[in-house]
A and B are shown apart, each in its own frame.
Chain A
Amino acid sequence: MSRQASRGTESKKMSSELFTLTYGALVTQLCKDYENDEDVNKQLDKMGYNIGVRLIEDFLARSNVGRCHDFRETADVIAKVAFKMYLGITPSITNWSPAGDEFSLILENNPLVDFVELPDNHSSLIYSNLLCGVLRGALEMKRSPDLGPGDMEVLGVSIRKEEAEGMCGSGEERRG
């Protein structure tokens, strides 16, 4: 009985570390393939984007979340449903712009950086940049069909002060 239980715990622990470890191996490989941190950041963003456009379908199928009526709802769904489902954390939503078209997500405990130490020669590396691409890809797929092509764009998702605050992300929306 106790042997079964400890087996389950081991599996669970390994399972949750698999993604973190694989991500670490990926970033290490990209740092070898590309000469500078900027290119690695771009590559992570691009890969994240490709993942995001597929992930959104998986998310909608599993979460039963309905259509978001405004950007605040979108922010809530991202932080409280999506991040919880995929990374087991709930970032806090802060820093709303006066126009309500920009916000920040703060990750207190970023699971991607578990066991990770960045060497000094990679000061421009945005380690978690994949997450930005994922958000960008997912949001772009689900912008409202009622809006015209120029009416809403996810202009940027960026990470600021990664070390101090975890991740900050902002999406921008323009209504026609």
Chain B
Amino acid sequence: MADAALFEFLHTEMVAELWAHDPDPSPGGQKTSLSVLKGMGFRVGQALGERLPRETLAFREELDILKFLCKDLWVAVFQKQMDSLRTNHQGTYVLQDNSFPLLVRMASGLQYLEEAPKFLAFTCGLLRGTLSTLGIKSLVTASVAALPACKFQVVIQKA
């Protein structure tokens, strides 16, 4: 029964480690580190999704699955629910967290805006991984206007 704080500490250290280890400080190198974090998040998201009991997986609609991410998954991972979920009903969803725990430790406002993507990459992967286990292919990106609020954009990929 690992305490929630452990995940946060580990995540912070993982971001620091990947950036310290990266010999290439250029935007191209940054991209590699971000994609490594996303990949790790994806595998964890997949595994989390696989551990759900069968009944949970009988969602009626795509929107139910997104609601599940915003409530159950978010509570399990971040001890809070997503603050809002919007959709254009055509496969694009915007999930907004006004106080994203992995950003909260950083200053609020516009300081460190450049650093924020590093702290969102793992979670983008996590969302995509869980969706993948639930049978949905997607692209997930994140954006930050002012810390610690952020938005995750989920675009469903039709086969």
| 18 examples of A-B residue contacts, CB within 8 angstroms | A10-B52, A10-B53, A10-B56, A11-B75, A14-B51, A14-B52, A15-B2, A15-B4, A17-B47, A18-B2, A19-B7, A20-B2, A26-B14, A47-B17, A50-B13, A58-B5, A85-B3, A86-B3
Q: Is A55 in contact with B76, judged by CB distance below 8 angstroms? A: no
Closest chain A CB from B82 CB (angstroms): 14
B155 touches A (CB below 8 Å): no
Q: Which A residues are within 8 Å of any B CB, using their own CB? A: 6-7, 10-23, 25-26, 28-29, 33, 43, 47, 50-51, 54-55, 58, 85-88, 111, 115
Closest chain A CB from B76 CB (angstroms): 4
Q: Which stretch (B36-44, B93-101, B107-115, B143-151) binds chain A?
A: B36-44
Q: Is A16 in contact with B2, judged by CB distance below 8 angstroms? A: yes
Give chain B's interface secondary structure class.
helix
Closest chain A CB from B13 CB (angstroms): 5
A130 to B4, CA, bound (A): 17
Contact with A along B43-76 (1 / 0, CB 8 A): 1100110011101100000000000000011011
Residues of B within 8 A of A47 (CB): 13-14, 17
**Cβ-defined partner of B43 (8 Å) among A14, A17, A25:** A25
Closest A residue to B7 using CB positions: A19
Closest chain A CB from B73 CB (angstroms): 7
B159 touches A (CB below 8 Å): no
Going nearest first, the 7 A-B pairs with the smallest beta carbon separation are A88-B1, A14-B76, A19-B2, A11-B76, A25-B40, A15-B76, A21-B44
A17 to B126, CA, bound (A): 13
Q: Is A17 in contact with B51, judged by CB distance below 8 angstroms? A: yes
Residues of B within 8 A of A25 (CB): 40-41, 43-44
Residues of A within 8 A of B89 (CB): none
